Amino acid sequence: MTARTPVVAELVTVSRSVQFVRYSKRELKAISEVNALTSSEARGKGVSVRMRLAEDLPFIKGDRVQLQQVMLNLIINAIDAMSSTSDGPQELTISTRMNEPGAVLVTLSDSGPGIAPGNIERLFEPFYTTKTNGMGMGLSICRPIIEAHGGRLWASANIPRGAILQFTVPVDPAVPP
Ligand SMILES: Nc1ncnc2c1ncn2[C@@H]1O[C@H](COP(=O)(O)OP(=O)(O)O)[C@@H](O)[C@H]1O
Ligand SMILES: [Mg+2]
């Protein structure tokens, strides 16, 4: 057991309560709500989580468990990053919106130490980690999951500090809005 185990357990709980992918038409799912991530758990770590969710997003076709895994990994990474600095308020903002053309965009913006520009692509390499107990596998697994859904996953710098991790998932053309 490492010191971070309780945090991971808390986030699994949080992630379960995240209605990230909506099942409203059999196997077709929508990213429409990430509504329940208010999480006293995250607040217990000194992190406040804000949700900015677009209403009435169209349906996407996706694997609920895989997309939750992606979200969970991105959330844990953001909280790890923010826990590593005591600099200023620790805020994670999760937002969803339409991204033209024909894709939903999910954005996680944190106020951690951010990513050095030269390392932005290294993040997605297997075994790349800056954590003592890190595996460095999370993002290298998230990217092919998103690409298998026909989307993209990338990192950039947040302003004035922190990191932004974003991914798209295409809208399902077979389902009317
Ligand atoms: N939100 C973030 N802010 C700053 N660095 C990050 C963030 N997310 C990921 N990283 C960097 O990317 C590395 C790789 O992440 P990941 O593949 O999930 O592996 P791990 O979490 O095991 O280190 C992390 O060790 C960290 O250096
Ligand atoms: Mg990780």
Return averaged pLDDT per consecutive 10 residues of the chain, 177 residues in all. Answer: 42 44 35 38 70 75 77 85 81 85 89 93 95 92 93 95 93 72
pLDDT value at residue 27: 29
Residues present in the chain in total: 177
Give the per-residue pLDDT at 126.
94
Q: What is the pLDDT of residue 57?
A: 75
- With a CB cutoff of 8 Å and minimum separation 6, the contacts of 87 are 113, 161
CATH architecture type of domain 5-170: 2-Layer Sandwich (3.30)
d(CA 51, CA 57): 15
According to DSSP, the β-strands at 28-31 and 59-60 are: antiparallel
Identify the pLDDT of residue 171. 83
- Residue 14's pLDDT is what? 45
Please choose, from the candidates 95, 89, 96, the residue with its C-alpha nearest in 3D space to the C-alpha of residue 111. 89
For residue 122, give the ligand nearest its CA.
Answer: 1
Residue 83 CB–ligand 1 contact under 6 Å: no
pTM: 0.82
The tokens for 164 are 């932004």
Ligand 1 contact via 140 beta carbon (within 6 Å): yes
In the prediction, which pLDDT does 34 show? Answer: 34
13 burial (CB, 10 Å; 0-12 / 13-18 / 19+) is exposed
